[in-house]
Structure 1
Amino acid sequence: MHPRLEAVVKAYDVRGPSPEQLDAALARALGSAFADETGISDGRGKAVVGRDMRASSPEIAGAISDGIRSRSAGVVDVGLASTDLLYCASGVLDLPGVMVTASHNPAGDNGLKMCRAGARPIGLDSGLATMAEAAGPLLDRDAPGPTGDFQELEFLDTYVKTLLDLAPVSGRRLTVAVDAGNGMAGHTVPAVLEHLDVDLIPLYLELDGTFPNHEANPLDHSTLVDLQATVRDRGADIGLAFDGDADRCFVIDEKGEVVSPSAITALIATRHLKAEPGATVLHNVITSRAVPEIVTEHGGTAVRTPVGHSLIKAEMARTGAVFGGEHSGHFYFREFYLADSGMLAALHVLAALAEGDRTVSELMAEFTRYSSSGEINSRVEDATAVIGRLEDAYADRDRDRLDGLTVTGDDWWFNVRPSNTEPLLRLNVEGADDATMARVRDDVLDLIRS
């Protein structure tokens, strides 16, 4: 692989500083390779292209489009978009797609998320590596001019209708605080909520790729403090926080507390199981054990998966699962082309809240059963050796290697996974209560960091 591509091609997407690593020439080359990989070259089809609000995104999106069109393929440009809007367009139009975004990364980064027609994901093992190899030689030669068709398409209304058809909201009027982090939720969320009986309290809805207020990364709970304070001070029923490309959503309850994404997974799972008894629901290895328990109690089949969107989408296709949730705030829906949508997840929570008289904390109480550590990162020189040491230390316990190492005790479990991009081990611990969780967490961290 060309060194310039090695620097930016990741397990699930393309990402790096722009224009230092990801520039127009690299994007154009990848666009050409994308057209060939998805079978639309030589006039055989079109691709849909969307972009986020970062300063470099218009240039990168234009270069991607030129690369696709240089292979005599057409481009349908939906302009500013959240990632789930791009997936929706890929599904509705049945076209392969490219989303220009670096999600929650710093302002100086940019990236590409790619999919085949019907929003089927493209990762390193499902076409991205092949594209990177094909794009390398194109960097060292003059690029041919674009010859394929180009059209602009306003898709926001279709996206809104698609989501509201899948998760209609009715009942009592709600006060909803939304923190878009100056990301793409500022474009899409108001367009959805204007159709609902809600009072919107907006935080940082203005599109600004410099992220002047805080990083658009709700997985870092320090970015949620403004939303938490607003919910408490304004008496909102609920707070919603989205990441930069709005494919992830975190929920704040009426007390200003962060709701576990595992509890959101369990709630949405029960709603799907009510509509489709006996359905399959996916959850990844770091999701609370409450999720498979609740799925089983409601007559469903719970299937455990590795972490990672392309892996979950592939498993959804294999099993016919109706829904899947990740503890990182990604939620996947079979009826949404197996894709993840933060806004669709939020609509399910709003629907459950509006149809009754319970608060968010009361609604979520039945789905919150255990104490969780959250993800704890440790820098290690040799992740394989450390995982081996942990496996030896817990040789008398149930263990599996579905994703990293998971060890299960009588009333606790932990998982350690190496990072794909950094010399880090990621630890998640859950216990029956706070004391159990803290004991196991500290024991495992001592072994990791010794």
Structure 2
Amino acid sequence: MTTDLGTIIKAYDVRGTVPDQLSPDVARAIGTAFARVVAGPEGARRVVVGHDMRDSGPALVEAFAAGLVAAGVDVVRIGLCSTDGLYHASGVLDAPGAMFTASHNPAAYNGIKLCRAGARPVGQETGLAEVREVAQRLLDDPSAETDAPGDGAAPGEVSDVDMLAEYAAYLRGLVDLSRIRPLKVVVDAGNGMAGLTVPAVLGTAAGLPALPLEVVPLFFELDGTFPNHEANPLEPANLVDLQAAVLAHGADIGLAFDGDADRCFVVDERGAAVSPSAVTALVGLREVAKELAAGRTPTVIHNLITSRAVPDLLTAAGAQVVRTRVGHSFIKARMAEHRAVFGGEHSAHYYFRDFFFADTGMLAALHVLAALGEQPHPLSALAEMYEPYVASGEVNSTVADAGAATARVRDAYLAAYPDAVVDHLDGLTVAHWDDAHPQWWFNLRASNTEPLLRLNVEAADEDIMIKVRDDVLSLVREEMQP
């Protein structure tokens, strides 16, 4: 039975279990489809391909490359890399790219993140749906591989290039850490690709000058079975080792990366997590100041789940702020549309104009290290400036009918708070935030892949946040009551 690609090619990328969902045959079909839908129409003669530390990566890359080569496209393999390392290669080589990774998913999974030349995103509405349709036809009828117009071109060629040193030098050229005070930094790579990239960027593995950093490594061994903990720092349980190590070593800061090292999470000297919203504000203000100093009016993008402090602080600093839906394809599109200097998400994806409008956790980490090292105070004191409100974090509820549950919440809150501001940019957002009333907002949105409603609440103090959170959850879960 042929694989149904609708089960593994979603809104932003390809993700599935190996080999039952994502096999070499599927990878080859997607490679051929990518050549036809993206590389060919763009006139791209080559595609850059990389992979993370999962054991299934090399075989899938080989099959994907075979599909490209058969369609007449050259393949530049950069081997083991982080996802932002692949974006860097796509940017500097001006070539479409494919990164084989399942990010923080368990070892049984793998996937593909695709981009156009210059690291421009390929999502459901920007080519991924077409890639799925063409690849499905190829799987259903393998003879179709030779039937497409233009596929009679000479086969492409495969070459291997090591881009790690260039990637490290590129990032180090964007943030100067040479003059900061000495810092002790614990880094938890979670057995993911940060085990390769951190020694190159923060250390001397790429031949760069030493920085005033003492790096304490945790789980730097590349191992796609994730023997120590899941490579998903968004889950608090996966930060426990880092938090303990920061305290044990008396470190100034802790950094945790996910499996493909494109997201970075921060822990202060007390072992407390610094919210991605606070990091968004901190890094955003640094980029805004740089733009203003150059005589330019900066634009910053944030998704609607980030703290209210983000637009408040950035607007006060002189930035134009644009709010967008959750999801990297949406925020990347807005980044390019507005030529935004920076963008941030609550999930710790950080986007930079100077990094091809793509996301890179490593560059965000460099900014945080610079901000900490350029002043004398501990990170906890620095972070307080960017976290004035109380947030619930994301709370998930399994529901039979997401639309009906959302309608219950909307109707109840409109009746109780007729002056509240309501919008539907991404799910339901209700805000009741002015000086005359208790200050709070919440967003309730459906998962794209599961029967879940995701709730985020923020308020001026903890009592208000808890009340709004519990009231909304009660309405959401009403159908579950006996």
TM-score normalized with structure 1 length: 0.98
Q: Rg larger in 1 or in 2?
A: 2
Q: Indicate the SS of the match to 1:127.
A: helix
Is 1:154 equivalent to 2:162 in the alignment?
yes
Give CA deviations for 1:415-449 in whole Å, capped at 9, x if unaligned: 01100100000000001011110010000000000
Deviation at 1:189, TM superposition (A): 1.0
Aligned to 1:84: 84
- Aligned-partner residue type, residue 400 of structure 1: D
Aligned to 1:268: 283
Deviation at 1:39, TM superposition (A): 3.3
Give CA deviations for 1:115-142 in whole Å, capped at 9, x if unaligned: 0000000011110110111111211326
- Partners of 2:39 and 2:46 within 8 A in 1: no
- From 232, 238, 253, the equivalent of 2:253 is 238
Q: Indicate the SS of the match to 2:387.
A: coil
Q: Indicate the SS of the match to 1:394.
A: helix
Distance 2:364 2:353 in 1: 13
Q: Indicate the SS of the match to 2:84.
A: helix
Distance 1:137 1:374 in 2: 42
Distance 1:3 1:49 in 2: 23
Aligned to 2:222: 207
- From 197, 204, 210, the equivalent of 2:212 is 197
Aligned to 1:384: 403
Distance 1:42 1:387 in 2: 42
Deviation at 1:38, TM superposition (A): 1.7
- Partners of 1:69 and 1:148 within 8 A in 2: yes
Give 5+ residue unaligned stretches, structure 1: none
Is 1:280 equivalent to 2:304 in the alignment?
no
- Partners of 1:42 and 1:72 within 8 A in 2: no
Deviation at 1:41, TM superposition (A): 7.9
Distance 2:121 2:454 in 1: 25
Give 5+ residue unaligned stretches, structure 2: 204-209, 434-438
Distance 2:223 2:233 in 1: 17
Give CA deviations for 1:290-336 in whole Å, capped at 9, x if unaligned: 00000011111111110000100000111111100000010000110
- Greater shift, 193-202 or 174-183, is seen at 193-202
What are the residue-to-residue correspondences of 1:94-173 with 2, within 5 Å? 94-139=94-139, 140-141=141-142, 147-169=155-177, 170-173=179-182
Aligned to 2:71: 71
- Partners of 1:30 and 1:135 within 8 A in 2: yes
- Partners of 1:42 and 1:73 within 8 A in 2: no
Aligned to 1:401: 424
Q: Indicate the SS of the match to 2:247.
A: helix
- Partners of 1:41 and 1:72 within 8 A in 2: no
Alpha-carbon spacing, 1:297–1:43, altered in 2? closer, same or farther (3 Å) = closer
Q: Indicate the SS of the match to 2:358.
A: coil
Give CA deviations for 1:22-42 in whole Å, capped at 9, x if unaligned: 000000000001011123389
- Greater shift, 187-196 or 212-221, is seen at 187-196
- Partners of 1:325 and 1:331 within 8 A in 2: yes
Is 1:415 equivalent to 2:415 in the alignment?
no
Distance 2:44 2:60 in 1: 24
Deviation at 1:3, TM superposition (A): 5.2
Give CA deviations for 1:387-414 in whole Å, capped at 9, x if unaligned: 1111111112210000011000130000
- From 178, 184, 189, the equivalent of 1:175 is 184
- Aligned-partner residue type, residue 125 of structure 1: E
Is 1:438 equivalent to 2:457 in the alignment?
no
Aligned to 2:207: none
Distance 1:131 1:370 in 2: 43
- Aligned-partner residue type, residue 169 of structure 2: K
Q: Indicate the SS of the match to 2:214.
A: strand
- Aligned-partner residue type, residue 260 of structure 1: S
Distance 2:445 2:410 in 1: 13
Distance 2:455 2:199 in 1: 36
Deviation at 1:197, TM superposition (A): 1.6
Q: Indicate the SS of the match to 1:267.
A: helix
Alpha-carbon spacing, 1:437–1:41, altered in 2? closer, same or farther (3 Å) = closer
Superposed CA RMSD: 1.5
- Greater shift, 35-44 or 187-196, is seen at 35-44
- Greater shift, 389-398 or 153-162, is seen at 389-398
Q: Indicate the SS of the match to 2:467.
A: helix
- Greater shift, 307-316 or 42-51, is seen at 42-51
Distance 1:25 1:364 in 2: 48
Distance 1:402 1:294 in 2: 22
Distance 2:82 2:98 in 1: 12
Distance 2:7 2:288 in 1: 43
Distance 1:7 1:379 in 2: 20
- Aligned-partner residue type, residue 227 of structure 2: P
- From 203, 215, 228, the equivalent of 2:243 is 228
Distance 2:3 2:455 in 1: 32
- Partners of 2:14 and 2:113 within 8 A in 1: yes
Distance 2:302 2:133 in 1: 33
Identity percentage of aligned residues: 57
- Partners of 1:41 and 1:71 within 8 A in 2: no
- Aligned-partner residue type, residue 160 of structure 1: A
Give CA deviations for 1:207-236 in whole Å, capped at 9, x if unaligned: 000000000000101000000000011101
Alpha-carbon spacing, 1:156–1:381, altered in 2? closer, same or farther (3 Å) = same
TM-score normalized with structure 2 length: 0.91
Distance 1:95 1:261 in 2: 31
Distance 1:80 1:35 in 2: 22
Distance 1:394 1:435 in 2: 18
Deviation at 1:147, TM superposition (A): 2.3
Is 1:337 equivalent to 2:359 in the alignment?
no
